[in-house]
Structure 1
Amino acid sequence: MKMFKIYKKIRGKIFLFSVMVFVSFSSFSQNETLFEQGKELYKNGKYQQAINAWMKILDNGEHSAELYFNLGNAQYKLNHIGPSIYYYEKALQLSPNDQDIKNNLAFAENARIDSIEPLPQTVFSKWYQNISGVFTYNGWATLAVAFSVLFVALFLFYYFAFSEKRKRLLFVGSMFAGFLLVASLTMAFLTYGDYSRNQPAVIFASEIEVKTEPSMGSNVAFTLHEGTKVQILAQDGNWFRIGLADGKDGWIPATDLKQL
Structure 2
Amino acid sequence: MQRRLLIILIILPPLFSAITNPLFAQVSGYRLQQADSLYQEKRYIQSLEQYQAILNQKEFTPAMLLKMAYIEEGLNHIGKALYYLNLYYLTTNDKLVLDKMEELATKHNLDGYKNSDADIAFSFYYDYRMPISMTLSVMSILFLSIIFYRRKKGYRPVATSVLLFALLILLLVHLNVGEKNDEGIVGEPNTYLMDGPSAGASVIAVIDEGHLVEIVGKVDVWYEISWNGNRAFIKENSLLPVRL
Q: For this structure pair, what is the TM-score category when the shorter chain's length is used for normalisation?
A: 0.7 to 0.9
Cα root mean square deviation, aligned: 3.1
Instruction: Choose from 182, 200, 203 the match for 1:199.
Output: 182
Aligned counterparts of 1:32 and 1:43: Cα–Cα separation in 2: 16
Determine whether 1:130 maps to 2:126: no
Question: 1:240 and 1:66, CA in 2 relative to 1: closer, same or farther beyond 3 A?
Answer: same
* Structure 2 equivalent of residue 155 of structure 1: 147
Give the alignment partner of residue 78 of structure 2, picking from 62, 66, 81: 81
Q: Which string of whole-angstrom CA distances, capped at 9 and with x for unpartnered residues, describes residues 213-242 of structure 1?
A: 333333221121101111222333222222
- Say whether residues 1:109 and 2:105 are aligned partners: yes
How far apart, in 2, do the equivalents of 1:184 and 1:71 lie?
A: 41
Change (3 A) 1:142 1:247: same
Rounded to whole Å, the distance in 2 between the matches of 1:184 and 1:178 is 10
Q: Is 2:140 the partner of 1:143?
A: no
The structure whose residues are more often helix, as a share, is 1
Rounded to whole Å, the distance in 2 between the matches of 1:93 and 1:142 is: 22
Number of the residue aligned with 1:100: 96
Residues of 2 paired with 1:42 and 1:177: CA distance? 58
Cα-to-partner distance string for 1:196-221 (whole Å, 9 max, x where unaligned): xx021111111112122333333221
Which range moved further: 152-161 or 210-219?
210-219
Q: Tell me how far apart the structure 2 counterparts of residues 177 and 131 of structure 1 sit (CA, whole Å).
A: 25
- Structure 2 spans left out of the alignment, 5+ residues: 1-23
Cα offset for 1:72? 1.8
Identity in percent: 18
User: Shift of residue 118 of structure 1?
Assistant: 8.1
After superposition, the Cα gap between the structure-2 partners of 1:132 and 1:234, relative to the gap in structure 1 and judged at 3 Å, is closer
Q: What TM-score results when the alignment is normalised by the length of structure 1?
A: 0.70
Deviation at 1:30, TM superposition (A): 6.6
Q: How many corresponding residue pairs?
A: 218
Give the SS at the match of 1:133.
helix
Matching residue of 1:252: 234
CA contact (8 A) 1:69 1:101 kept: no
Secondary structure at 1:62's aligned position in 2? coil
The residue that corresponds to 1:49 in the other structure is 46
Residue 228 and residue 30 in structure 1: after superposition, are their counterparts in 2 closer, same or farther (change >3 A)? closer
Query: Does the CA-based 8 Å contact 2:191-2:206 persist in structure 1?
Result: yes
> Secondary structure of the equivalent of 1:154?
helix
SS of residue in 2 equivalent to 1:234: strand
Residue 24 of structure 1: aligned partner: none
Residues in 1 aligned to 2:68 and 2:104: alpha-carbon distance in whole angstroms: 13
Report the equivalent of 2:211: 228
Cα 1:118/1:65, change in 2 over 3 Å:
closer
Distance 1:172 1:65 in 2: 49
Looking at structure 2, the residues matched to 117 and 99 of structure 1 have their Cα atoms a distance apart, in angstroms, of 13
What is the DSSP-based 3-state SS (H/G/I as helix, E as strand, rest coil) of the residue aligned with 1:194? coil
Q: Structure 2 counterpart of 1:148, which letter?
A: S
Q: Structure 2-normalised TM-score?
A: 0.74
Give deviations 1:53-80, integer Å, cap 9, x for gaps: 2223223331344432332222222221
- Greater C-alpha Rg: 1
| Structure 1 portions without partners, runs of 5+ | 1-26
Distance 2:32 2:123 in 1: 36
Cα distance in 2 for partners of 1:132, 1:76 equals: 26
Alignment counterpart, residue 58 of structure 1, candidates 55, 58, 63: 55
